[in-house]
Each structure stands twice: as C-alpha cells, then as structure tokens.
Amino acid sequence: MENKTSRRDAIQQIAMVSVGLNLFSLTSCTGSKKQQENIKDTKILMPFSLPPLEPLQPGPVGVEISTWVRSSQTNMQYSSVEIAVAPKQMGAAPHLHRDLDELMLVLEGTVSVLVDNILYEVPAGGWQLRPRGIEHAFYN
C-alpha cells in the first residue's frame, strides 16, 4: 500500500510541476504583440493542492476514473485523471481530444495503446504521449 501511495504523490507532484511549467511558459513568452495581448487576457492561475486519496481500484465494470485536475482549473491548459483498468478490460473506446494532448504514466502492469492504427505496449514505469486530434484507445 505504501508503494501505491508514493506513486500517487509522484503523480500529484508531476501534475503540479506541469501546471507550473505551463504558467512559466505563459509569463515568459516574448512573442509577437498579438501573443502578448492573448497572455494579458488569460486569467492568472492560482496555486492549489490536492489531498491524498486511497489508491484507485477498478470498479464493478472493470474501470474506475478519478479526475485530479480539471482543465477548467488551469485555463484549459492541463488536466489530470487517474484510471484503474482491470485485466483484459478496455480503458476507453476509440476517441480523440481536440484541445489537450494526453500523457500516460503506467503505474502497474502493461497497457496496450492503439494510436492511429499503431499498437504500443507500455510497461509499468513507462510513459506514452498522444497529441491532440489523433484517435486512440487503450486497454489492460
């Protein structure tokens, strides 16, 4: 149980660092006048923290999802979800994201990810990036 808790802590820290990096890139941008005007219109993100939760377990249908950070909390720049998928279960039907890239960290087991008709096998500790606009699905 302690190992899963420390993994959750790592996910939380990664999420907070990602949000921080997105903020830094917004405030340190030295682009065109149009870009600078867009930055002025962006709401300032406020720091927030997330309480620890019990390790997520697959639900009655073999999948359980917990949203850690909603894109509405980060000016549509970032979101973070945790998904527990039972063995031999589909994580999500084929879909795509129009506004956000998706980055997956596999905590346990191996996840099969189908991206644009290419199958990736991602073992525990591995990462997989799916850029916005590309159809994908994953299963355990």
Kindly tell me the sign of the dihedral angle through the C-alpha atoms of 60, 109, 49, 102.
negative
Average pLDDT of the residues of the chain = 77
35 confidence band (pLDDT: 50, 70, 90): very low
Q: Tens of pLDDT along 54-97?
A: 888 999 999 998 888 888 888 888 888 889 999 999 988 899 98
pLDDT at 10 over 90: no
20: phi then psi, degrees, rounded to nearest 5: -60, -40
Q: Tell me, what's the pLDDT at 29?
A: 41
At residue 109, the 3 state secondary structure works out as: coil
**Tokens 């990810």, residue?**
113
Is the pLDDT higher at 10 or at 86?
86
How far is 124 from 121, CA to CA, in rounded Å?
A: 10
Is the pLDDT higher at 27 or at 15?
15
How far is 55 from 36, CA to CA, in rounded Å?
A: 42
